[in-house]
Amino acid sequence: MIYKFSFLTQNTLLNLYFLKIELKYQKHFRSLLKGEAMDIYALIFDDYETLDLMGPVEFLARVPEMKISYVSFDGGMKRSKQGFFIKTKKLSKMPKESVLLLPGGQGTRTLVNDSEFISKLKECVLASQFCLSVCTGSALIARTGELDGLKATSNKRSLEWVKSCGKAVKWQERARWVRAGKFYTASGVAAGMDMALGFISDHFGKELAQKIANETEYNWQKSSKIDKFAKIYGY
């Protein structure tokens, strides 16, 4: 009787062990499947900052499960502040469960007062699974009201202006980037690259993020809380 109990116990333990392994790999494959559905829509406008867009794109495009589309609300060619042109597709409706990538730049200064643009942007933000902004792109999202009560950051050189675009936002004066729920907001320009790798690390694994950093010979700042530039601008 004791022997029989021991045998059953061993079988139960073995079954639990293999069940644990099965669940582990099921979780892994579910993650991969989820990744395959991760479409990124980079929303572009005239006078955007080139590196705000191209820095994160360089890294995000290296994730096999990601597909990047370059869009705008009216379609056609869009010119960056530095004179780089990119052809965009007209975005009529933001697909659900997708990722919105929003650069900043000089163009945000007028767009924050464009009610039609902000209304359409709000629809995109609400439909997105994740929303990533770089530099003053967070000022545009703040205008939608969807950052109210949440932590966020932006370019420290323009932070006081950005704060005026969303007074209910908990603006972080010292942060390379900030994650608050589905929102990722980066500080100025190159900070978007660190945020992009942070996003990859969160959703596809730290190993892949580091691999991409190594392939591009990029010195990735892994901590979102270290902001060496804040002090320059008095924060």
Between these two residues, 18 and 101, which has the higher pLDDT value?
101
Instruction: Give the model confidence (pLDDT) of 103-148 as tens digits.
Output: 999 999 999 999 999 999 999 999 999 999 999 999 999 999 999 9
pLDDT band at 29 (very low <50, low <70, confident <90, very high): very low
The string of DSSP letters for 180-228 reads: ETTEEEE-STTHHHHHHHHHHHHHH-HHHHHHHHHHTT------SS--T
Q: Is 180 exposed, middle or buried (0-12, 13-18, 19+ CB in 10 A)?
A: middle
What's the pLDDT at 115? 98
Tokens 């730290």, residue located: 206
- pLDDT bucket at 32, cuts 50 / 70 / 90: very low
**At residue 227, does pLDDT exceed 70?**
yes
This prediction has a pTM of: 0.85
- Report the alpha-carbon distance of residue 38 to residue 228 in Å, rounded: 32
Domain edges within the chain: 1-36, 37-233
Mean pLDDT of all residues in 82-91: 97
What pLDDT sits at residue 184? 98
Look at the domain 37-233 and name its fold. Rossmann fold (3.40.50)
Average pLDDT along the chain: 89
**Mean pLDDT for the stretch of residues 37-54:** 96
* pLDDT for 5 beyond 60: no
Give me the mean pLDDT over the 165-171 stretch.
98
Residue 163 pLDDT: 98
Q: What is the residue whose two structure tokens read 């997708």?
A: 98
In the chain the first and final C-alpha atoms are separated, in Å, by: 73
Per DSSP, which regions of the chain are E strands? Answer: 39-43, 67-72, 76-79, 85-90, 99-102, 130-133, 151-152, 170-171, 177-180, 183-186
Percentage of the chain lying above the pLDDT 70 cut = 84
pLDDT score of 18 more than 90: no
